[in-house]
Amino acid sequence: MVQNYVFPATVSEAVTVLSTNRGKARIIAGGTDLILELQEGKNTCDVLVDLTQIAELKNITEENGFIRIGASVTHAQAAKSELILRHAPALAQACRKVGSLQIRNMGTIIGNVVTGNPAADAAVALACLDTTAEVTTLDGMQTMPLEDMYAGVCMSCIDSCCQVVTHVRFPVKRTGQGSAYLRMEQRKALALPMLAVSALVSLDGDKFEWARLIIAPVGAGPQHALDAEEFLKGAPVSAATMTEAGQLARNQAMFRSSAIRGSKEYRMGVLPVFVERVLQAAVEDARRA
Amino acid sequence: MSQFEYVGKSIGRRDGVDKTTGRGLFTTDIFLPGMLFAKVLRSPHPHARIVSIDTTEAEKLPGVKAIMTHKNGPKNLFNAAVPMFLTIPQLERVLDQYLFDEIVRHVGDEVAAVAATSEAVAEKALGLIKVEYEILPAVFDALEAMKPEAPELHAGKGCTPEGKNIPAEIVKIPYNDVEKGLAESDVIVEQTFELPVQKQVQMETQAAVAQVDGNGDVTVWSTTQTPHPSRAILGQIFGIAASKIRVLAPPYVGGGFGVRIGLSGKAEPIAMGLALLAKRPVKLVYTRKEDFIASDTRHAAYVTVKLGAKKDGTFQALDMKAVFNTGAFCTFGAELPGVCGAMTLAIYRIPHQRYFGHSVYTNRTSAGAMRGFGNPQGNLAMEQVVDMMAEKLGMDPLELRRKNIMKAGDPWCLPYPCSTTELSECMRQGAESIGWERRGKLNEPGAVKLRGLGMAVGTHVSNAWPFCVDYDNAYVTIQPDGSAHVASGVPDIGTGTSTSLVQIAAETLGMSMDSISLTYGDTLGTPFDIGSHASRTCYAAGTAIKAAAADARKQLLEYAAGYFNIAPERLEIKAGLISPVAGSLDECSGSGLCQLEEVKEGKGNSVTVAELAYHAHVRNKQFIGVGRIVPENAPPWHACFAEVEVDTRTGQVRIVKLAAAHDVGRAINPMIVEGQIEGGAAQGIGYALSEEITYNDKGRQQQYSMHNYMLPTAEDMPEIHSIIVESHDPTGPFGAKGAGECSLVCPASAIANAVANATGYRFKQIPMTPERVFKALNS
Amino acid sequence: MPNQIISFRLNGEVVEIAVSPEEMLLDVLREKMHLTGTKRGCGKGECGACTVIFNGKAMNACLIPAMRAKGADIQTIEGVEGPGGLHPLQQSFIDKGAVQCGFCTPGMIMSAKALLDKNKSPSKEQIREAVGGNICRCTGYVKIEEAVEDAARQLRASAVKGGDL
């Protein structure tokens, strides 16, 4: 039962409160997922430590060749941010798809990662962007690649009772690069994706230098379509290549059957189409610049 | 264009300011001194016996003031829906529910209820109630439940001996000789379709607040669509005289769509029972999940249509069967199969017809009334079979329908005449809107996204006769200051009746809308009215109000005639002014007009209703008009046209445009009628493509929240073109017919036909989810 | 759980109220302050009936921890009508037939107002995005979108005239 609700002014204060409460205090940023978990009894804590008053966590900045996003940055902010739209359209597109505008105005990108949901839109987009998280405890700050943040399906490696993910960052977009995000959905608002894909491609003329291709939900956290990524290295940019990549993506697609989100067979069946289409969109983005 | 002053005008809703400012009260907004909050314990099992139930720990929790279970709850059998009081006298009514029973029959069935000083305490108390269940075998599919080995759900409660688990009776509609008709047909098409569970998802969940006074008189604010019948039901449940119970809407109700024709789930009796025990007011508001799993849904069904036609397309025979999954309790399970059959048989002029339909009990959430009431299920089957027939005959489906639709006066299986129909014009306008001539020419070879056009037509009712008891009363009193007060027992569940009914009164009386107040939705101070269902409110309650207003007007004019010294027929009332009808002035000059000097001086030959009413009042008279009517019935008609685009690679169906043309007789308020058409179209799109509630093998509902029940959001809506085609029905007030449910009868059928046109694949099951479409196109 | 007294700006006025760390803003508005205009449709942020404008942005009050209201600027439906009368959105909703049962209406108007407060010339897509999280089961959304467009037109016209809204 939540007994106390505090607003630290700095990250340092936040981790101090976490530490003092020895596992009974928990970080809350937007809260759109956490509030429901607390109400449904899937999570408990005595103290909520609210990050939304900490000034340094509210921004999207470009620093030292990285785009850096703070823990209080909302989906709505990211979807309309100049920096994100320019450097990471995949992330802007993903954030635009989350829930509803009301949810996007409250929910945060980093919260989207920390819930551990493998098909969380923003997380799927971040996964193709070579994202690193900055994780702070009382002992200081460590960086952690996004891939390492998933302990299992809907289980984060982050312990919000003693760790604060203060920022995530990914490299700025280079020439010849482009990204995109697509999801399969049952309706256009207020729905989780049935499957989600993101791609960051680097083109060299008419060839793919490399591609990072992410598919979800096929395991703990967003997954790389490794065989497709391998195939795309140096491959020509063509419809045929992207179709083949789509087929290869199935190799890493370990879908489960869900009564609500679609059977395994169906998601396997349509995955190649979405992979093709997201690659096309990423290529278009790369060529636009 | 309307020749009327108020009727036929898109007058802004009278409740608009209340609703747009948040001032308007709904049941969920009511706070009373000393009010307690109720929570309900629900069965986790689809079928079980309660072996023991121990509430002692819960009772000890501070803040808990009353607990009800089958041990101390009322013991009268009832039907939570209006068939309890509206079953026609020729039939036995089905009473199969107790407020709390020793047997639970679906996941979510009520086991106990607690009233406490806060919701949180009540919720905590639920956790302290100890229940021991003996699990019983359960059955979920209607066809399985009819098998001899299936568990029996309601022994001794009036199931028909003609089958297993079939409540009431099997509806059989014979019309001439269907075997003969089939024998005479050149082409026969037969197909079975499977219809899903759809849910109303009205925005305000089931809710009630009950208060008992020192005399034992009870007041219940509730979300019911039918205050008077609900009052009667509550009286029966508790063995209290109906006259000691008041049921009212506060006055606003957050939607219905059939989910509360009768009680709102069990909100009213549970709140009332706890209030009687605790001797304090009790409020019960269903959570959204409770609303999903423990209040009536639409019936899932298997519908088979066999259609026979001549080579030239003339329909000869229609043989139809339907099995409806009515879930754990019957509610409307006896009437609905009849409406499905009758409405489907009534669309076309077919000389030989037969219908055989019934409900079946299963261990699922009760199915009951939902907008359309069996008609959408029948329509989906029929309209697809008509398209299949068109294909076989090589005819345009629009032409095939034109050839066979009912014309006014044609004979049919219904006990009232086909008085008016503008279906042909509806079809013409809808076809024009969608661009029907493009059909078959929309796709390039090799296209990945295929386009198609489809259509469907249908009919419905303007009230519940002959399927249910149906009648209305109203009265109109002219106050001493000349303003009018109309009293009607119908609520306004969102359909705007509190405006349209006043338009009818204003038109009849000849008085401005502003001078008329309406008491509605309150059993105190209104005579018995069936309520808002079966698309009846404007047509039937409107007829009663028109009659009451006409009666009051007659009295006014008779009184005025005495002073004008001319016959009352020579007088008219316009904008609250009584004066001789133009042209009869000369004959009045000189004679009795001077007597008006008593009423007012030197203003000539007219008098206001206000002046006249006061004149009468100080001479000990009030004008009271009474309307008591038994409505006839009349068919509204609708034609729906859809353009779809199917992504063959993902199975996603996008609606490009929906055109819905409706003959509702006279549109009393065209803007309100359009709103009904558009709202129903949206629900029809959901029915066709994304809405369903499925069950796992343990009887648990898989969809039970706004999150996982896929009704359309604003971002999903296509262009919708709502078209009103007017006819003038001789039986309805100012020519009106029913409108409320019509908009949900055809859209899914039109969309299914459009998908078949686009892909060449005919879906025998809806919703046509991306997964189903993908599987069909890629197997 | 100990209550804390917090103060915030509600519909233009500063208010002070005791809230518990467990409460959501929706509970405080409806149960404590008896401002019942904001509705509970699902309690889980899935329907938009509880939409309020929080520091200029539309949000679901059922998911906002009440404690977070401290120092915030909050608008509810009760604060939309001005001293001069109905806001153009309210009038347009009535005039265009966008109100049926009325349960979604407060949330719809708050979502639309949050949009029009910042952008008086929204595109159709922007209007749809603004109300995409508000479920309406009665209207099919058609007249709601027409009403928002109509209100936007009126706001633009009065802005040109130098009107004060």
Instruction: Write the DSSP string, chain C.
Output: ---EEEEEEETTEEEEEEE-TT-BHHHIIIIIS--TTS--SSSSSSS-TTEEEETTEEEEGGGSBGGGGTT-EEE-GGGTSBTTB--HHHHHHHHTT--SS-SSHHHHHHHHHHHHHH-SS--HHHHHHHHTT---SSSTTHHHHHHHHHHHHHHHHHHHTT---
Please tell me whether residues C44 and C110 are part of one structural domain: no
Please tell me whether residues C122 and C67 are part of one structural domain: no
* Cross-chain CB nearest to C67 (options A5, A100, A102): A5
Beta carbon pairs, B and C, within 8 Å: 173
Q: Which of A48, A72, A96, A101 to mutate to test the interface with C (most CBs of C within 10 A)?
A: A101
Class of residue B443 by CB neighbours under 10 A (exposed 0-12, middle 13-18, buried 19+): middle
Q: What is the pTM for the complete model shown?
A: 0.96
CATH number of the domain bearing residue C40? 3.10.20.30
Name the residue type at position A267. R
* Cross-chain CB nearest to C46 (options B253, B495, B705): B705
Cβ contacts of B775 on chain A, cutoff 8 Å: 265-266
Please tell me whether residues C69 and C124 are part of one structural domain: no
Residues A211-253 have pLDDT tens digits of 999 999 998 899 999 999 999 999 999 999 999 999 999 999 9
Nearest-CA residue of chain B relative to C94? B16
Q: What gap in Å lies between CA B580 and CA B448, rounded to an integer?
A: 71
State the pLDDT at residue B600: 43
State the pLDDT at residue A103: 98
- B716 touching A (Cβ < 8 Å): yes
State the pLDDT at residue C1: 58
Question: Inter-chain contact B714–C144, Cβ cutoff 8 Å?
Answer: yes
Please tell me whether residues C98 and C135 are part of one structural domain: yes
Question: Inter-chain contact C132–A190, Cβ cutoff 8 Å?
Answer: yes
B186 sits in which H/E element: none
- B672 touching C (Cβ < 8 Å): yes
A102 to chain B, minimum CA–CA distance in Å?
A: 14
Domain-ending residue, one of C50, C79, C108? C79
Question: Inter-chain contact B774–A184, Cβ cutoff 8 Å?
Answer: no
Token pair of B777, please? Answer: 């196109």
In a domain, C52, yes or no: yes
Residue with tokens 């639920």: B126
- A25 touching B (Cβ < 8 Å): no
Please tell me whether residues A104 and A164 are part of one structural domain: yes
Cβ contacts of A188 on chain C, cutoff 8 Å: 132
Please tell me whether residues C68 and C95 are part of one structural domain: no
Question: Which of the four pLDDT bands, split at 50, 70 and 90, describes residue A1?
Answer: confident
Residue with tokens 């006279």: B666
Q: Classify each residue of B648-657 as buried b or exposed e, where b means 16 or more C-beta atoms within 10 Å of its C-beta.
A: bbbbbbebbb
Please tell me whether residues A20 and A159 are part of one structural domain: yes
Please tell me whether residues A43 and A88 are part of one structural domain: yes
Please tell me whether residues A122 and A102 are part of one structural domain: yes
Please tell me whether residues C15 and C45 are part of one structural domain: yes
Domain-ending residue, one of A138, A171, A204? A171
Question: Which residues are bridge partners to C104 per DSSP?
Answer: none
Give the residue numbers spanning the domain of A220: 177-288
Q: What gap in Å lies between CA C26 and CA C28, rounded to an integer?
A: 5
CATH number of the domain bearing residue A133? 3.30.465.10
Please tell me whether residues A185 and A157 are part of one structural domain: no
Cβ contacts of B260 on chain C, cutoff 8 Å: none
Question: Inter-chain contact B770–A186, Cβ cutoff 8 Å?
Answer: yes
Please tell me whether residues C30 and C60 are part of one structural domain: yes
Question: Which phi-psi region, left, alpha or beta, contains residue C107 (left: φ > 0; alpha: ψ -120 to 50)?
Answer: alpha
Question: Inter-chain contact B710–A273, Cβ cutoff 8 Å?
Answer: no
Residue with tokens 């609500």: A260
Please tell me whether residues A31 and A161 are part of one structural domain: yes
Please tell me whether residues A20 and A52 are part of one structural domain: yes
A3 to chain C, minimum CA–CA distance in Å?
A: 5
State the pLDDT at residue B417: 96
In a domain, C28, yes or no: yes
State the pLDDT at residue B580: 86
Outline where B510-649 has alpha helix (H).
542-564, 585-588, 609-617
Q: Give how many domains chain C has, as a whole number.
A: 2
Residue ranges of chain B whose pLDDT lies below 50: 1, 585-603
Give all strands of the β-sheet with A25-28 in edge-to-edge order. Answer: A4-6, A47-50, A25-28
In a domain, C165, yes or no: no
C161 to chain A, minimum CA–CA distance in Å?
A: 31
Nearest-CA residue of chain A relative to B686? A187
- Rounded to the nearest 10 degrees, the angle between the axes of helix C142-160 and helix C124-131 is 120
Q: Which of C27, C53, C60 to mutate to test the interface with A (most CBs of A within 10 A)?
A: C60
Q: Give how many domains chain A has, as a whole number.
A: 2
Please tell me whether residues C46 and C63 are part of one structural domain: yes
Q: Classify each residue of B309-325 as buried b or exposed e, where b means 16 or more C-beta atoms within 10 Å of its C-beta.
A: beeebbbbbbbbbbbbb
Residues B566-589 have pLDDT tens digits of 889 889 999 999 988 875 544 444
Domain-ending residue, one of C79, C112, C137? C79
B676 to chain A, minimum CA–CA distance in Å?
A: 23
Please tell me whether residues C22 and C75 are part of one structural domain: yes
Cβ contacts of C83 on chain B, cutoff 8 Å: none
* Cross-chain CB nearest to C44 (options A36, A50, A106): A36
Residue A79: how many other CB atoms lie within 10 Å: 21
Peptide bond into B251 cis (omega under 30): yes
Q: Torsion angle of alpha carbons B410, B412, B416, B420, nearest 10°?
A: -40
Instruction: Enumerate residues 6+ apart whose C-beta is below 8 A from B258.
Output: B200, B225, B296, B368, B369, B370, B371, B373, B533
B451 to chain A, minimum CA–CA distance in Å?
A: 19
* Cross-chain CB nearest to B690 (options A187, A266, A274): A187
Token pair of B754, please? Answer: 């459009």
Question: Which residues are bridge partners to B360 per DSSP?
Answer: B325
In a domain, C73, yes or no: yes
Cβ contacts of C47 on chain B, cutoff 8 Å: 203, 288, 706
Domain-ending residue, one of C59, C79, C99? C79
Contact B298, B709 (CB under 8 A): no
Please tell me whether residues A62 and A155 are part of one structural domain: yes
Q: What gap in Å lies between CA B306 and CA B309, rounded to an integer?
A: 10
Nearest-CA residue of chain B relative to C104? B203
Question: Inter-chain contact C137–B257, Cβ cutoff 8 Å?
Answer: yes
Question: Inter-chain contact B29–C141, Cβ cutoff 8 Å?
Answer: no
Interface predicted TM-score (ipTM): 0.97
Cα–chain-centroid distance for residue B121?
36
Q: Which of C87, C137, C144, C150 to mutate to test the interface with B (most CBs of B within 10 A)?
A: C137
Contact C120, C92 (CB under 8 A): no
Sign of CA dihedral A5, A11, A16, A22: positive
Question: Inter-chain contact B203–C103, Cβ cutoff 8 Å?
Answer: yes
Nearest-CA residue of chain B relative to C143? B675
Question: Inter-chain contact B200–C137, Cβ cutoff 8 Å?
Answer: yes
Q: What gap in Å lies between CA A167 and CA A145, rounded to an integer?
A: 12
Residue with tokens 């027939």: B389
- B155 touching A (Cβ < 8 Å): no
Q: What gap in Å lies between CA B249 and CA B494, rounded to an integer?
A: 12
Cβ contacts of C100 on chain B, cutoff 8 Å: 255, 494-496, 675, 679
> Among B296, B675, B204, B298, which Cα is nearest to C135's?
B204
Please tell me whether residues C156 and C93 are part of one structural domain: yes
Nearest-CA residue of chain C relative to A30? C64
CATH number of the domain bearing residue A217? 3.30.390.50
B566 to chain C, minimum CA–CA distance in Å?
A: 43
Cβ contacts of C106 on chain B, cutoff 8 Å: 20, 22
- C48 touching A (Cβ < 8 Å): yes
Class of residue B725 by CB neighbours under 10 A (exposed 0-12, middle 13-18, buried 19+): buried
Cβ contacts of B495 on chain C, cutoff 8 Å: 100
Question: Which phi-psi region, left, alpha or beta, contains residue A60 (left: φ > 0; alpha: ψ -120 to 50)?
Answer: beta
Residues A68-125 have pLDDT tens digits of 999 999 999 999 999 999 999 999 999 999 999 999 999 999 999 999 998 899 999 9
In a domain, C109, yes or no: yes
* Cross-chain CB nearest to A5 (options C60, C63, C65): C65
Give the residue numbers spanning the domain of C128: 88-160
Please tell me whether residues A20 and A152 are part of one structural domain: yes
Question: Inter-chain contact B712–A187, Cβ cutoff 8 Å?
Answer: yes
In a domain, C53, yes or no: yes
Average pLDDT, chain A: 95
Question: Inter-chain contact B690–A186, Cβ cutoff 8 Å?
Answer: yes
Domain-ending residue, one of A130, A147, A171? A171
C165 has a pLDDT exceeding 50: no
A12 to chain B, minimum CA–CA distance in Å?
A: 36
What separation, in Å, do the N-terminal and C-terminal C-alpha atoms of chain B show?
Answer: 54
Q: What gap in Å lies between CA B697 and CA B138, rounded to an integer?
A: 10
* Cross-chain CB nearest to C45 (options A3, A102, A189): A102
B692 sits in which H/E element: none
Cβ contacts of A76 on chain C, cutoff 8 Å: 57
CATH number of the domain bearing residue C127? 1.10.150.120
Q: Which of B17, B20, B498, B705 to mutate to test the interface with C (most CBs of C within 10 A)?
A: B20
Please tell me whether residues C74 and C8 are part of one structural domain: yes
Instruction: Enumerate residues 6+ apart whose C-beta is below 8 A from C55.
Output: C72, C73, C74
Task: Go through the domains of chain B in sequence order and give each one's CATH number.
Answer: 31-136+200-294 (3.90.1170.50), 139-195+304-404 (3.30.365.10), 407-467+634-779 (3.30.365.10), 471-629 (3.30.365.10)
Question: Which residues are bridge partners to A144 per DSSP?
Answer: A133
State the pLDDT at residue B604: 60
Please tell me whether residues A167 and A71 are part of one structural domain: yes
Cα–chain-centroid distance for residue A115?
10
Q: What gap in Å lies between CA A117 and CA B86, rounded to an integer?
A: 51
Q: Which of C23, C32, C86, C101 to mutate to test the interface with B (most CBs of B within 10 A)?
A: C101
Token pair of A238, please? Answer: 């063509």
Please tell me whether residues C69 and C92 are part of one structural domain: no
Percent of chain C whose predicted confidence (pLDDT) is above 70: 97
- B717 touching C (Cβ < 8 Å): yes
Token pair of C47, please? Answer: 């329907």
Please tell me whether residues A8 and A35 are part of one structural domain: yes
